[in-house]
């Protein structure tokens, strides 16, 4: 009899499969990406999503406490005894009327799914708990990733908190925020900095992992994407199981968007939701491969028959022009997204669109999100900057109900935030000006006052 859970090539014409325990993370027939696949006919499926509310009363059980694993029936690849959790997924989905107004939506229309509350401060923990679980099932003792920062922070914290694995982190010599690097170092991961950008680091980590048999936790690992489905389950939960009209998410390696589409597709197939939301993926303008290919060149999934030669030609042109990804939003500074085929499929499944936004717009949106009460890093704010653009274009209706995913915490990169709000032109230029940001819309400058009571009182009274 066929396996209950296995790995399956995403190309329906290929038919390649791999065992649940396989850690190659490439189709054995065509080398393409794999999905985790389930024989739902032989697995217990809840009758409705309300079923998951019963877990709230059972918080003493770490599996029900976890914002990832309380939904484990929707990605049942692990026996409960193997599950690794450090309490991830205790996140907020906050109605944000002030940010809605900025984006052009009606009050009550915007919800910010704030993933900065995870143990390592980004959404990556949702996926890492799932990857660690799979790694444990396969007996791995070392795990590696290439990272623009948050994957390494997450890997490091899971290694430290569980003591199950030794973490090996590859970072490029390009931008990595100090907050993220400090996490990798503080939590004791072996950190290897190679000369080159993220795309180079990712190629190397895949080679090294294969050669040394180290478990790979980059988002080419389909088990990570299973864990990230829970971000959408929590959005639905917060919306009392009503599907929003749109989900807007920043796009880097395109793991999140791929995961979200799979989540909605499966929920629809299982009869747990009546329709899927539309998806909007937001690139930074300086790292806009997905935008260029999907929107400008019209590349489509086409049941797996998408133009692979077209993608190769695009990458060849990048190389020929020595064009590297370049944006302040370091978490999405990626020009060769490993999950591109899955993301194309996601666009087809969820009638998606892709946009690219300038760094200056990202920073303004970030300041507005912060003024609205949630602190996020630049990459996260791309979602709101993209939403604003899509409302202006009329693609997203101002009456729509929208969930924007804020992928990481403000304090990942405080330098950028301080530079944005700084009145000190040198500080601004050092961090932002040299990156092409000319001015900022919503700077909250510190007020300079002499050390004098009357002057201080006057400064306070005249400001408010
Ligand atoms: C990893 C990351 C992203 C990009 O997510 P993908 O799944 O790679 O598209 C966006 N924002 C933050 C904060 C991240 O850490
Ligand atoms: Zn295949």
Packing angle of the helix pair 359-371, 414-421 (nearest 10 deg): 90
In this prediction, residue 452 carries a pLDDT of 94
Res. 279: pLDDT tops 80: yes
Q: Which ligand is nearest to the CA of 18?
A: 2
Token pair, residue 313, equals 């030609």
**Ligand 1 nearest atom to the CA of residue 251, by list position:** 9
The residues spanned by each domain of the chain are: 92-120+222-417
Indicate the DSSP class of residue 225.
H
User: Residue 429 above 80 pLDDT?
Assistant: no
pLDDT at 255 over 80: yes
Tell me, what's the pLDDT at 333?
93
Check pocket membership of 336 for ligand 1, CB cut-off 6 A. no
pLDDT at 193: 87
Contacts of 94 (CB under 8 A, 6+ apart): 111, 112, 114, 373, 374
DSSP for 339-360, written as a single string: THHHHHHHHHHTT-EEEEE-HH
CA gyration radius, the chain:
22
Q: Look at residue 27 in the predicted model and tell me its pLDDT.
A: 98
- Residue 437 clears pLDDT 90, i.e. is over it: no
Cα 15 to ligand 2 centroid, rounded to whole Å: 6
Distance separating alpha carbons of residues 229 and 220, to the nearest angstrom: 15
Burial (0-12, 13-18, 19+ Cβ within 10 Å), 405: buried
What kind of architecture, by CATH, is found in domain 92-120+222-417? Answer: 3-Layer(aba) Sandwich (3.40)
User: Tens digit of pLDDT for each residue in 295-313?
Assistant: 999 999 999 999 999 999 9
Residue 83 predicted with pLDDT over 90:
yes
pLDDT of residue 171: 85
Collapsing DSSP to helix, strand or coil, 65 comes out as: helix
CA distance 411 to 417: 9
With a 6 Å cutoff on the Cβ, whether 219 touches ligand 1 is: yes
Residue 219 has pLDDT above 90, yes or no: no
Ligand 1 in reach of 408 Cβ (< 6 A): yes
- Between CA 188 and CA 82 the distance in angstroms is 24
Rounded (5°) CA angle 346-349-350: 85
Evaluate whether 345 touches 301 at the Cβ level (below 8 Å): yes
In this structure, the strands spanning 402-406 and 166-171 are unpaired
Distance CA 376, CA 390 (A): 21
User: Does 464 score more than 70 pLDDT?
Assistant: no
Q: What is the pLDDT of residue 448?
A: 87
Neighbours of 184 (CB within 10 A): 27
Q: Is the pLDDT of residue 198 over 90?
A: no
Could you tell me the two tokens for 80?
Answer: 């409960």
Assessment of whether the complete model's pTM goes beyond 0.85 = yes
Q: What is the pLDDT of residue 400?
A: 98
> Does the CB atom of residue 331 touch ligand 1 within 6 A?
yes
Residue 445 pLDDT exceeds 70: yes
Which ligand is nearest the CA of 381, by number?
Answer: 1
Q: How many other C-beta atoms are found inside a 10 Å radius of the C-beta of residue 444?
A: 11
Regarding the beta carbon of 332 and ligand 1, being less than 6 Å apart is answered yes
Looking at the chain, the whole-number percentage of residues with pLDDT higher than 90 is: 84
């Amino acid at each position: 009899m066929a396996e209950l859970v296995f790995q399956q090539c995403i190309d329906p014409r290929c038919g390649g499969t791999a065992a649940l325990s396989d850690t190659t993370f490439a189709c054995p027939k065509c080398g393409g990406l794999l999905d985790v696949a389930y024989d739902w006919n032989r697995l217990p499926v809840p009758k409705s999503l309300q079923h998951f509310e019963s877990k709230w009363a059972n918080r003493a059980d770490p599996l029900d406490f976890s914002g990832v694993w309380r939904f484990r029936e929707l990605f049942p690849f692990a026996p409960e005894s193997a599950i690794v959790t450090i309490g991830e997924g205790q996140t907020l989905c906050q109605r944000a009327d002030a940010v809605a107004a900025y984006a052009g939506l009606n009050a009550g229309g915007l919800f910010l799914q704030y993933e900065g509350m995870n143990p390592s401060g980004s959404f990556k923990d949702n996926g890492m708990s799932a990857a660690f679980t799979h790694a444990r099932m396969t007996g791995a003792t070392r795990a590696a990733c290439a990272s623009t920062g948050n994957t390494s922070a997450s890997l490091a914290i899971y290694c430290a908190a569980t003591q199950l694995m030794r973490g090996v982190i590859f970072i490029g010599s390009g931008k990595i925020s100090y907050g993220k690097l400090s996490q990798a170092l503080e939590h004791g991961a072996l950190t290897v900095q190679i000369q080159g950008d993220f795309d180079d680091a990712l190629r190397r980590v895949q080679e090294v992992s294969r050669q040394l048999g180290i478990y790979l936790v980059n988002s080419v690992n389909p088990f990570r994407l299973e864990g990230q489905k829970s971000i959408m389950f929590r959005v639905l939960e917060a919306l009392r199981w009503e599907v929003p009209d749109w989900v807007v998410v920043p796009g880097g390696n395109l793991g999140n968007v791929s995961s979200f589409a799979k989540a909605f597709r499966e929920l629809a197939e299982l009869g747990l939701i009546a329709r899927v939301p539309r998806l909007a993926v937001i690139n930074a303008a300086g790292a806009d491969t997905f935008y260029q290919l999907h929107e400008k060149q019209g590349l489509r999934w086409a049941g797996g028959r998408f133009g692979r030669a077209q993608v190769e030609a695009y990458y060849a042109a990048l190389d020929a022009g020595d064009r590297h990804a370049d944006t302040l939003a370091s978490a999405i500074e990626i020009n060769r997204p490993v999950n591109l085929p899955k993301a194309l499929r996601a666009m087809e499944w969820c009638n998606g669109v892709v946009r690219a936004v300038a760094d200056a717009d990202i920073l303004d949106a970030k300041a507005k999100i912060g003024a609205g009460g949630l602190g996020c890093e630049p990459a996260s704010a791309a979602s709101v900057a993209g939403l604003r653009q899509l409302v202006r274009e009329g693609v997203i209706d101002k009456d729509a109900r929208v969930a924007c995913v804020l992928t990481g915490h403000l304090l990942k990169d405080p330098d950028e935030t301080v530079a944005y709000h700084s009145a000190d032109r040198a500080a601004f230029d050092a961090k932002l000006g040299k990156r092409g940001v000319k001015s900022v819309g919503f700077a909250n400058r510190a007020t300079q006052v002499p050390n004098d009571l009357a002057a201080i009182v006057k400064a306070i009274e005249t400001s408010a």
